[in-house]
Structure 1
C-alpha cells in the first residue's frame, strides 16, 4: 500500500515534473534534433533524362547475297543486320582474325614497335615444306632466320601463311592444341555461339563459324591499332621470302582497309571487310562479312558482294539529330525543390543507324552549390550496344542550396 507521502512525491507539485521543466526539455530536444539536421550533409543533386529510351527513325536495309550468309555491323555498335541463314559453316583463312587477335592479346604492340624476335627452327622449316607440298598458303622460311612478331603477323594476315599460324600458336601457347583451346574460350567469351575452332589456320573443315560471329571477332580485333595497320598493308618484304602481297585485292576500293579473305573448296569464298567512317572528329569502322560463296570465282564473288554491302550501309550509318522534349533532355531534381531542366547549348547528334534503339541516362557532376544557370552540370549518356556517346548538358535555372529552414526541419516538411 502506497503511503500519502509517497503519493505526494509523484504529484504534479513535484518540481522535477513541472510543466515548465517538461517544456524546457522539449525545446532542448527539438533544438538538438534541429541542429543535427542542420549540420549534417544534405542530399546530392540528382537528375533524370526526359525519356529513358529512344529509337532512330526508319529501318536499316541492306540487300544481302542469296548464297551463303552475310552480316554487317560496326566496331562499336556491334552487329546491325544479317541474312537469315546464320549457321556454322567452314570459314577457311578468315580463322586467322582470331589467331592474330590472340597473339596481340598475349604480346601487345604499340605503334612503331615490332615486338620480340623469333628464330626459325628446323621444325618451322619442316612445317613450311609440308604445307607447301599440300598446296597451302605459306611463307618461305630458313633455319636460323629471325623474324619479328610484327613480321610474323604480316605473314599471317597478308599472304595468309598457314605455317606461320602454326609458329605463332606454338610461341604463344606452347602447342597447337593449347592455342586452339584459347581460341574457343575467347569465342565463347565474345558470344560467338556458332563458332568452333579446330585448327589455327582454317584449313580444317571442322573450323566453323557464322557471318554474325565474324563481325564480333572483327569488332574487337579492329580496336587494336597494330592489327588495323597490318590488314591495310598491300605488301611487305622479307629476307628469305622477298616481297609478299595481300590476298585482299579490294584494298583501296570502296574505302576498304582490310580485313581478311579465306577460300577453300569446303568454305567457298569468304571475306570479312572494314571501311572507315568519320563521325565528327572520331573514326569508326563499318565491318562486313560474307561467307560461303561457291561460284567459278568464289573469292572474287565474296569480295564484290562484300563491297556492295558496305556501299549500302555507308549512307545509313551516320549522325542523326536527337530530338528533345520541350527543348529539354533531362531535369535536375532535389528534395528542396531547386529544380531545373537540362538543355544542350548546341544541336545534339548521335551516331547510329535507322531503327537503332538506345538507352538514355544523365550523370550530374558533384559541384558546390549554388550552380549558376548555363553551367555544364550534367552529361547525357546515349548507349547502344558497346557504344556510349556523351553530350554535355546545362541547367536552365540556377541551382540553389537548401534554405536554412529546410535544413533545420528537413524531416518535418
Structure 2
C-alpha cells in the first residue's frame, strides 16, 4: 500500500499564498519608494538651494588716520631765539616759539584792511568808491611824521579809489592812509577799534588786540602764532592777496610806491607784510609757495623783534625753506594690502586685497582718512570687486577697489549633497 503525499509545510491549507508575506513585501516596496522619494527631494533641495552669502571679515581697522610728522616744524620754532611761528595756508596748526603777545607794529594794517573790506567789500578787478583827500588829511600826515611813522603824500583834492587806498596802506605801509581809510569806512578810529575787536573774536585770534589802525601804538599786540593765522586770513582774501603780491604800483598824483617786503620777488614768495617800530623791532610776516609732487603748498612764517631788515629777511627765508621741506609724498595704502578675508563654502580662505595703492602730499598738521568697507562675497574669478577703501586727503577723495585675491567656485552637486548644513546656512564654512 502506497503512502499518501504529505502537504508542503510552507503552503497554507488549500495552497493559497501567504497573506502576511505579501503584506511584508508591500511594506518593503513602499518604504523603498518613500526612501527614494525623500532622497530625490533632498537631492533636489541641496542641488537647487541658493548658497548662502559668504560674509567677509576686515583684517584692518575700518577707519584709519595717517598724520604727517610734526617734529621737524616743532624743532624749527623751538630753536629760535626770538619770537617765531610757522604754519601753512588753510591749515589749522601753527608752531610757535613763544606764546607771549608783543607789539605788532604795522602788521596791524592787515587787520585794518580785513576789517575794512568786511564792512565795505571789494572784489578783484574792482576799483571801489572814490575818496577825495582834504586839507585836513594833510594834518594827519604831519601828526604821523611827528611820531616817526611812515607816510605818503596827501595833496588836497587828490582822488583815490578804495583799491588805491588799500595799496597805500599795505605796500609802503603808509600810516596816514591807514588812519584815513579807517575813518572813511567806520567814521572814527574808535569805531574801527570796536569793529576790529569783534572781528578778532569771531576769527578766534584770542591774543590779538588792536586799538588803532596803524600799529604806531605799542598796545596793538598779538602772539607770533596768531600773526601766522592773520597772514592766512589775509592771503585767503583775493584782494589783499593780490595787493601784497605786487612789488610796486603807480598811483596818479602820488607816483610809484614800492612794497616794503624785503623778500618779495624771490622764488615763490607771495607776500605778506612788514612791521617796524622802535618798541617792537623788525617784524616780517611772509609766505612762500612751492609745488611738491604736483601739489601747491604755501608756508607762512612770522619772525618778530629782529634787529634789522636783513635779519628778518634771512630768518624768514630759513623758516619758510625748512617748513616747505616738511611737505612730502606720504604712502597711505600700499598696493595689494590685505584688507580682509572670506571663507568660501568649501572652507578655503580667500584674501581680499587692495587693487592698487594711495599716496598724497601731506604737510605737518594734516591728516588723511581711510575708510574701508567690503560687502557680501560670491562665486567669481580672482579680481572680483567686493568693496573699496575711500581715501580722503586735503587734496581730494579717491577710492581704491578691494578685490578677491583668488577665484571662488560654486561647489559640485556631490559636495552639496554631503554638506547640507552649509548649503542651508545652518553652519559656518569656517567653523
User: What is the TM-score when the length of structure 1 is the normalising length?
Assistant: 0.70
Contact 2:133 2:158 in 1 (8 A): yes
Question: For residues 290 and 213 of structure 1, what CA distance do their matches in structure 2 show?
Answer: 12
Contact 1:79 1:216 in 2 (8 A): no
* 1:231 and 2:241 aligned: no
Deviates more, 1:219-228 or 1:373-382: 373-382
Distance 1:252-1:341 versus aligned 2 partners, 3 A rule = farther
Determine the structure 2 residue equivalent to 1:56. Answer: 68
Contact persistence 1:373–1:395 (CA under 8 A):
no
1:211 aligns with 2:211: no
Separation (CA, whole Å) in 1 of partners of 2:92 and 2:301: 11
CA deviations 1:374-401 (Å, max 9, x no partner) are 699885324xxxxx44222144359xxx
Q: What's the CA shift string for 1:203-235, capped at 9, x where partnerless?
A: 001111111000111111111222122112111
Task: Please name the residue that 1:167 is paired with.
Answer: 180
Q: How does 1:242-257 map to 2 (within 5 A)?
A: 242-253=255-266, 255-257=268-270
1:97 to 97, 102, 110: 110
Gaps of 5+ in 1: 1-46, 332-339, 365-371, 383-387, 399-413
Aligned to 1:358: 367
- 1:116–1:148 CA contact under 8 A, matched in 2: yes
Q: Is the 8 A contact 1:137 1:161 kept in 2?
A: yes
Alignment of 1:84-123 (within 5 A): 85-123=98-136
Distance 2:278 2:70 in 1: 40
- Structure 2's unaligned 5+ residue stretches are 1-57, 342-350, 374-382, 405-431
- 1:237-386 matched pairs, under 5 angstroms: 237-253=250-266, 255-279=268-292, 282-293=295-306, 295=307, 298-324=308-334, 327=337, 343=354, 347-353=358-364, 356=365, 358=367, 360=369, 362=371, 379-382=390-393
Aligned residues: 326
After TM superposition, the structure 1 stretch with the greater mean CA deviation from structure 2, 210-219 or 247-256, is: 247-256
Distance in 2, matches of 1:160 and 1:49, equals 54
**Residue of 184, 200, 203 corresponding to 1:190:** 203
Residue 69 of structure 1, aligned match among 70, 78, 83: 83
State the shift of 1:273 in Å.
0.2
Q: Secondary structure at the match of 2:399?
A: strand
Match of 1:178 among 191, 213, 217: 191
Q: Tell me if structure 1 keeps the 8 A contact 2:330–2:360.
A: yes
Structure whose CA Rg is larger: 2
Q: 1:322 to 1:240 in 2, by over 3 A?
A: same
1:342–1:109: structure 2 CA closer, same or farther, 3 Å change rule?
Answer: farther
Find the aligned partners of 1:376 and 1:142 in 2 and give their Cα distance: 71
> Is 2:208 the partner of 1:199?
no
Match of 1:139 among 127, 152, 157: 152
User: Any idea what SS the aligned residue of 2:93 has?
Assistant: strand
TM-score for both structures, normalised by structure 2: 0.67
Rounded Cα–Cα distance in structure 1 between residues aligned with 2:213 and 2:357: 50
Which of 74, 79, 83 does residue 93 from structure 2 map onto? 79
Q: 1:323 to 1:146 in 2, by over 3 A?
A: same
